[in-house]
Amino acid sequence: MRLVVVAVGRLKAGPERDLAARYRDRAAQIGRGLGFPTCEIVEIPESRARRPQDRCAEEGAAILAHANGAALVVYDERGRADLNSETFADRVAAWRDAVRPSLAVVIGGADGLDPTVRTRADLTLSFGAATLPHGLVRVLALEQVYRALTILAGHPYHRGNLSER
């Protein structure tokens, strides 16, 4: 199963880009032994359309072009903020075991996601009610992918809920 993060916009050189690359590399490395041979980042150019709904529609079409047959996880302000890492890892494993060709993790642009992308999503998540910078969301999304893979590998990176100890 191919892993791909599809994000609207580019990250400029700096700490967010470096950290995103670090988690991408870690996910690619641990994922190889779990049936995830690659982890890619696809940057979709921001639309230049004048109206927000037109920008969302253009960006949405470009996003969906990279999601053909993929299990689609989208980050959206209306998404679930209560899904724990173990459950996310279980979902990733189920998609892999169902022989989905890829897992696409989607981060929309400044105007949000087009309804067609949200409708197509297999899972819609949120990092909470706060508005976060795009670069930080990309880092967090990649960290969650890496964390899910470490859980599947039984790696000690994820130590579970501290209240269980």
- Structure confidence by residue, pLDDT tens digits, 111-162: 999 999 999 999 999 999 888 899 999 999 999 999 999 999 998 887 765 4
Whether 10 and 67 have beta carbons less than 8 Å apart is answered as no
Q: Contact, 91 vs 80, CB < 8 A?
A: no
Of 107, 156, 113, 147, nearest to 127 by C-alpha is: 107
Mean pLDDT for 95-122 is: 95
Q: Indicate whether 163 pLDDT > 60.
A: no
List of domains in the chain: 2-158 (3.40.1280.10)
* Residue (of 6, 1, 41) closest to 21 by Cα position: 41
* 78 pLDDT above the threshold of 70: yes
Residue 62 CA to residue 47 CA, distance in Å, equals 10
- Angstrom distance (rounded) from CA 113 to CA 9: 13
pLDDT above 90 covers what percent of the chain? 85
Q: Are 134 and 7 spatial neighbours (Cβ–Cβ below 8 Å)? A: yes
pLDDT at position 96, please? 96
Q: What is the residue whose two structure tokens read 């903020």?
A: 81
In our burial notation (b when 16+ CB lie closer than 10 A, e otherwise), range 97-129 reads eeebebbbbbbbbebbbbeebbebbebbbbbee
Residue 7's pLDDT is 97
- The predicted model scores a pTM of 0.91
pLDDT at residue number 161: 55
| Residue-wise pLDDT tens digits, 44-70 | 999 999 999 999 999 999 999 999 899
Whether 144 contacts 23, CB under 8 Å? no
